[in-house]
Amino acid sequence: EAQVTQNPRYLITVTGKKLTVTCSQNMNHEYMSWYRQDPGLGLRQIYYSMNVEVTDKGDVPEGYKVSRKEKRNFPLILESPSPNQTSLYFCASISGGTDTQYFGPGTRLTVL
Amino acid sequence: GENVEQHPSTLSVQEGDSAVIKCTYSDSASNYFPWYKQELGKRPQLIIDIRSNVGEKKDQRIAVTLNKTAKHFSLHITETQPEDSAVYFCAATSGGGADGLTFGKGTHLIIQP
């Protein structure tokens, strides 16, 4: 079954404690992307990746890092989380043939 | 960069009536316009999309229209049903979707019984 998985699904942490949200897809897609969703703001792109070792900033990259060492995985790293990074995060994997974005189930992050 | 405006932010319609959600975009190079439906607590799901070489596309009760000259596109849902209640997002990109999408802020569609 084609799917995008994210872990953890829920996380409560404290300011400054490094964390990683993992994202994995089994569709062999080259393109992957991270979004954050905040009430009234819709979904905003954080980073995207066009292939292994190729990443670029989206609209709201400040405070985030990503890596793409393997095609299937695209982790989101918060080196020093702050309360304004409390949000719902979605990873997406994109079919190069149809441009359809397949979203993961989401990770709800709370930074105290 | 691209900017997508979506209206209205909330739309309440009677069951069986039609609903229309409108979006405008700023980048004339944008060529791919998907619509996503997000139910409470769930991930966005693609419901229909349109490319810049097409003016209209239909899928059962859902249709999307695109006016490239005016840089706006709309989602039309006919014969609305309770399960249509959700938040709907429009999006646009000039990268064919692969570089990521710029989303509108969403429309909360409420179907009144």
Separation CA B92–CA B76 (nearest Å): 17
Which residues in chain B are closer than 8 Å to A105, comparing Cβ atoms? Answer: 42-43
Pairing of strands A10-13, A107-111: parallel
Amino acid A81: pLDDT: 97
pLDDT, tens only, A25-35: 999 999 999 99
pLDDT of residue B105 exceeding 90: yes
CB-nearest to A106 from B32, B43, B101 is B43
Which residues in chain B are closer than 8 Å to A56, comparing Cβ atoms? Answer: 99
CB-nearest to B98 from A59, A90, A94 is A94
Q: Chain A closest CA to B37's CA: distance in Å? A: 12
pLDDT band at residue B100 under the 50/70/90 scheme:
confident
Which residues in chain A are closer than 8 Å to B32, comparing Cβ atoms? Answer: 99
Amino acid B103: pLDDT: 93
Which residues in chain A are closer than 8 Å to B93, comparing Cβ atoms? Answer: 99
* Cβ neighbours for B66, distance < 8 A, ≥ 6 positions apart: B33, B50, B52, B54, B55, B56, B72, B73
| B residues 7-66 lying closer than 8 A (beta carbon) to A | 32, 34, 42-46, 49
User: What would the mean pLDDT of B4-25 be, rounded to a whole number?
Assistant: 97
pLDDT of residue B13 exceeding 90: yes
Amino acid B96: pLDDT: 62
Q: Chain A closest CA to B62's CA: distance in Å? A: 17
How many other C-beta atoms lie within 10 A of the C-beta of residue B85?
Answer: 18
pLDDT, tens only, B42-94: 999 999 999 988 899 999 999 999 999 999 999 999 999 999 999 999 999 88
Counting as low any pLDDT under 50, the low residues of chain A are: none
- Retrieve residue B23's tokens: 């979006």
Separation CA B97–CA B62 (nearest Å): 21
Q: Which of B26, B40, B59, B99 to mutate to test the interface with A (most CBs of A within 10 A)?
A: B99
Residues counted in chain A: 112
pLDDT band at residue B98 under the 50/70/90 scheme:
low
Q: Considering chain B, what is the average pLDDT of its residues? A: 93
Amino acid B82: pLDDT: 96
